[in-house]
Structure 1
Amino acid sequence: MSRVRLHELAARPDGTEWIVGRPATGTFVAVPEAGKRALDLLGEGLSTGEAARRLEEETGHDLDVADFVDALVELGFVAEVDGRAVPLPDPPKPTLPRIRPAHVRWTLSPLLPVLIVLLIVTALIARPEGVALSYRTLLWSEHGSLVLAFGAASGWALLLLHELAHLVTARATGVPARMRLGTRLQFLVMQTDISGIELAPGRHRMTAYLAGIGVNLAAASAAALAAGAAEGTARRMLAALTVLALLPLPFQLMVFMRTDLYFVLQDLTRCRDLYGDGRAYARYAARRLLARPGADPSRTLPAHERRAVRLYSVVLVLGTALCLAFLAAVTLPADIALLTRAARTLTARDRSLGARLDAAAVLITLGGIHVLWARTWWRRRRERRRG
């Protein structure tokens, strides 16, 4: 019989089960009522044998608490066993650790989304002059370098604000949250890991998922209203900023790449792992088409999850196929052509200094993006293998 000391855990009811996890690491699991009761008894200082006897008295079933504790150790939920520390790697360091939950608790106020909606409605009603949702609005200057520089600076600023919104709303619930580069198919993205938000109440989860989209809509609305009050170059730049703030939003509809709206969908369908289960079912369906059937992985899921997973698997396959087809037909040929042309310009003897500088900029910028994507993809792949 062993006695264990658990790390600080959080829990919330979820239907007939409990979601239990360790906020510091973002690790969480679903356990039945008996599992939650076992955690409570172990947390009170009872040994595994004492907890098993108490559970048998309360439920009438003989439960193997020792095996349950072994699973908790693997999850990193156990700090000590019989006074001996359980060796575990340090939890990942959060981004911007000086931001404490108390500093950003206001982001969870129900008044904040109301204010954002009022700002959006005001911009729609005002319909500021000179703000058109067109590519021409982005060409606010006759100097292409200024247009590109403004677009790059504004795009990165909006991206950081978008991810910071996820971070601070998650931090307000006690989730550490970490910002980092990631990949989604052929796309290099900035993403915020808010693992552990599943332990928060429903309204707080939705706030964290939708915070980035809210920031983009608020920024677009504020820029549009400011453009309506400005003139000349300032108006054109603010109008361009409005379009730049709205440009990332269609990407959020690509739920097969686990965008912000994917997590909203997963939460609303009450699925544990919509992407993972959908991918497993898609593989099973592919094996059936090849006359190599196996066990249907969705059969072990509750009925509501099974329906959602099967429908999502169709979206996952079609969306992924379309993205990769676009990559093969458009993006890669264009990138290869640009890189080849730049390399030829640099190696040619009769090219001007301006042409060579332009070619070098293409190689550094476009080549750098591809190298960064490959490096990020490889790092994430290595981390998944370790996990």
Structure 2
Amino acid sequence: MVTASAGYDPDRPLPLHQLVYLADGEEVTVGRPDIDSYGIFPADGAEIVRRLEAGATPRDTAAWYLDEYGESVDMDDVIAALGELEFVRPEESAEAGAAPETATAPVRWQRLGAALFSPPAWIAYAALTAWALVVMVRRPDLAPTYNHVFFTDYYTVVQAALFVFAIPQLLLHEAFHALAGRRLGLRSTLTIGRRLYFIVLETSLPGLVAVPRRRRYLPILAGMLADVLVMAVLTLVADLTREPSGAFSFGGRVCLAIAFAVLIRVVWQFSFYLRTDLYVLISTALGCVDLHDTAKQYLRNRVNRLLGRTGHLVDESGWHETDRRTARWYSWLIVVGYAVSIGSFALAAVPIGYRMLVGVLGRFTGGGEVGWEELLDSAVFSGLVVLQFVIIAWLMIRDRRNRRAQRRLAHVIA
């Protein structure tokens, strides 16, 4: 298929869609918010696009660039890039004299997003969180602990409850991301993926790159806000539904189990090497381009230099300067992230898994003293555990195949 920019008349204005521009340091983000297509240009490149959009011909724009910067510009490459980003209007609509679009379609749920992050809402969130903290200080049995996970002796019920309740909690986490962006008029998409041994949902907000940096922070952190609010509500419900004796009701024990699971996901955000919300926050605040890969390569080079393996050093010439400066200290946060993962695994997953393993083996080897209900529970629980590992293995194999396919495609293109 021939694109609109494949052949152009240098003496005729290039028909472009309506574009938005956001200057950020020495670079400018240019894009089409109607299709969420964006590119990062140097300041002089963005000015070329501005002039073309304003109606200047490619020949006049090239002449202006030569006078302004004393260098020539390859307009073929510029226009080809604009075509790949779908900034160029199709020849049919341009020849028909169709007027460029003046507005994009309205974004759904924008009012709800504005209400959820309005000043009254923030006051309510602060009061709710403070209430939960005060209650936990006054009644230490509400403080999160892995023992809360065992709200019943049936492990299958524990596993099923945590899984079932995790789905709406994850959706709420991602909904807060999406609504915080939609209040700014940004579209969003939801996908499923994997981070280490976690199955995760991911909200994509492509238009966030065209928003001033200080307004990006809330959409990035909104998911963690939802997690904190969920923990606060569950803690308060558990406290308010106590039995007359002061013991937790069954519903209260379930709430505390779910609250602990949510806490683990909040702690997981500090595993920076997994490119979590906190990683995105740091990368955005510092204006980085590819901090994750740069920091990993920087750390690998540091280790190889210490070991004297200079032949294994990664070429640093392709790193963005901001990424290079940030990687000098951020690479240590990658190490911190691994420590957080290992620590949370040791302090939560290991004791929970050990208790369940001992319980299951005890039932299978307990002889006639164990009832059929407990044996059935242990059998079903074991099957579900195996199924989880199968799903994770399948996702890992799928990701590896995709990476291999991308490498083959890159080789063919090269």
Assess same fold via TM > 0.5.
yes
Q: Which aligned pairs between 1:243-322 and structure 2 lie closer than 5 A?
A: 243-282=260-299, 284-285=301-302, 289-292=308-311, 296-297=315-316, 301-302=320-321, 304-316=322-334, 319=337
Specify every segment of 5 or more residues in structure 2 that has no aligned partner in the other structure, as ranges. 1-8, 96-105, 244-248, 365-370
**Aligned residues: CA RMSD:** 3.9
The corresponding residue for 2:233 is 222
Query: Aligned-pair distance for 1:36?
Result: 1.6
Query: Aligned-pair distance for 1:236?
Result: 3.0
Query: Aligned-pair distance for 1:110?
Result: 5.3
The corresponding residue for 1:66 is 76
Query: Aligned-pair distance for 1:29?
Result: 3.2
Q: CA contact under 8 A between 2:62 and 2:75: conserved in structure 1? A: yes
Question: Relative to structure 1, is the Cα distance of residues 367 and 50 closer, same or farther in structure 2, using a 3 angstrom cutoff?
Answer: farther
Alpha-carbon separation, structure 2, partners of 1:228 and 1:320: 34
Q: CA contact under 8 A between 2:271 and 2:340: conserved in structure 1? A: no
Matched, 1:122 2:131: yes
The corresponding residue for 2:387 is 368
Alpha-carbon separation, structure 2, partners of 1:10 and 1:326: 43
Query: Aligned-pair distance for 1:125?
Result: 2.4
TM-score (norm 2): 0.72
Alpha-carbon separation, structure 2, partners of 1:228 and 1:324: 31
Q: Which aligned pairs between 1:44-193 and structure 2 lie closer than 5 A?
A: 44-80=54-90, 99-109=108-118, 112-127=121-136, 129=139, 130-193=141-204
After superposition, give the CA deviation of every residue in 1:321-370 in whole Å (9 maximum; x if it has no partner). 9969999xx99xx99xx9xx99xx9xxxxxx997688546534x334333
Q: CA contact under 8 A between 2:113 and 2:182: conserved in structure 1? A: yes
Query: Aligned-pair distance for 1:98?
Result: 8.1
Q: CA contact under 8 A between 2:26 and 2:42: conserved in structure 1? A: yes
Letter in 2 for 1:209: I
Alpha-carbon separation, structure 2, partners of 1:197 and 1:276: 21
The corresponding residue for 1:40 is 50
Specify every segment of 5 or more residues in structure 1 that has no aligned partner in the other structure, as ranges. 86-96, 346-351
Alpha-carbon separation, structure 1, partners of 2:393 and 2:291: 26
Query: Aligned-pair distance for 1:299?
Result: 7.3
Q: How many residues align?
A: 358
- Aligned residue for 2:269, secondary structure, equals helix
Letter in 2 for 1:312: Y
Question: Relative to structure 1, is the Cα distance of residues 383 and 83 closer, same or farther in structure 2, using a 3 angstrom cutoff?
Answer: farther
TM-score (norm 1): 0.76
Q: CA contact under 8 A between 2:62 and 2:72: conserved in structure 1? A: yes
Query: Aligned-pair distance for 1:107?
Result: 4.0
Between the two proteins, what is the percent identity of the paired residues? 25
Letter in 2 for 1:37: E
Q: CA contact under 8 A between 2:16 and 2:53: conserved in structure 1? A: yes
Alpha-carbon separation, structure 2, partners of 1:83 and 1:314: 53
After superposition, give the CA deviation of every residue in 1:258-300 in whole Å (9 maximum; x if it has no partner). 0111111112222122113223434555665422166742675
Question: Relative to structure 1, is the Cα distance of residues 275 and 44 closer, same or farther in structure 2, using a 3 angstrom cutoff?
Answer: same
Question: Relative to structure 1, is the Cα distance of residues 274 and 369 closer, same or farther in structure 2, using a 3 angstrom cutoff?
Answer: same
The corresponding residue for 1:91 is none
Alpha-carbon separation, structure 1, partners of 2:317 and 2:343: 28
- Aligned residue for 2:29, secondary structure, equals strand
Largest Rg, 1 or 2 = 2
Q: CA contact under 8 A between 2:155 and 2:381: conserved in structure 1? A: no
Alpha-carbon separation, structure 2, partners of 1:315 and 1:30: 27
Question: Relative to structure 1, is the Cα distance of residues 177 and 106 closer, same or farther in structure 2, using a 3 angstrom cutoff?
Answer: same
Question: Relative to structure 1, is the Cα distance of residues 244 and 358 closer, same or farther in structure 2, using a 3 angstrom cutoff?
Answer: closer
After superposition, give the CA deviation of every residue in 1:239-263 in whole Å (9 maximum; x if it has no partner). 3343333221110000111011111
Q: CA contact under 8 A between 1:6 and 1:79: conserved in structure 2? A: yes
Alpha-carbon separation, structure 1, partners of 2:293 and 2:200: 20
After superposition, give the CA deviation of every residue in 1:33-85 in whole Å (9 maximum; x if it has no partner). 22221111121233321222234455554333332122222334334369689
Q: CA contact under 8 A between 1:175 and 1:196: conserved in structure 2? A: yes
The corresponding residue for 2:4 is none
